[in-house]
Amino acid sequence: MEPGRGATSGAPWSSGWRKSSRSGSGQGQCVEVADLTAPSYEAVGVRDSKLPEGPLLMVAPPVFARFVAEVRGNGFTRP
């Protein structure tokens, strides 16, 4: 299976999808992340938990770590 095409929890290049601790139950806003590895790359995958077979965003681990740090530090504000 090619990354970004029908990514499932059983994909050989995934260590398993984890639901965000900030995703509420029944609110319809659920995000999952997974550590994705393959012989030629390493990435963090981000997907909509309601569409596990849908598209996913693949981000370099240092970029994702910076994103998480910004979110935790209130680096983003809501309009």
CA dist 42 and 63 (Å) reads 12
Give bridge partners of residue 59 from the DSSP assignment: 44
Full residue range of the structural domain in which residue 53 is found: 1-79
Residue 76 has pLDDT above 60, yes or no: yes
23: three-class secondary structure by DSSP: coil
- Of 48, 65, 67, 68, nearest to 56 by C-alpha is 48
| Residues composing the chain | 79
71 sits in which H/E element: helix 61-72
pLDDT digits (tens, 9 = 90+) for 25-68: 666 678 889 998 877 888 999 988 888 888 989 999 999 999 88
Number of domains forming the structure of the chain? 1
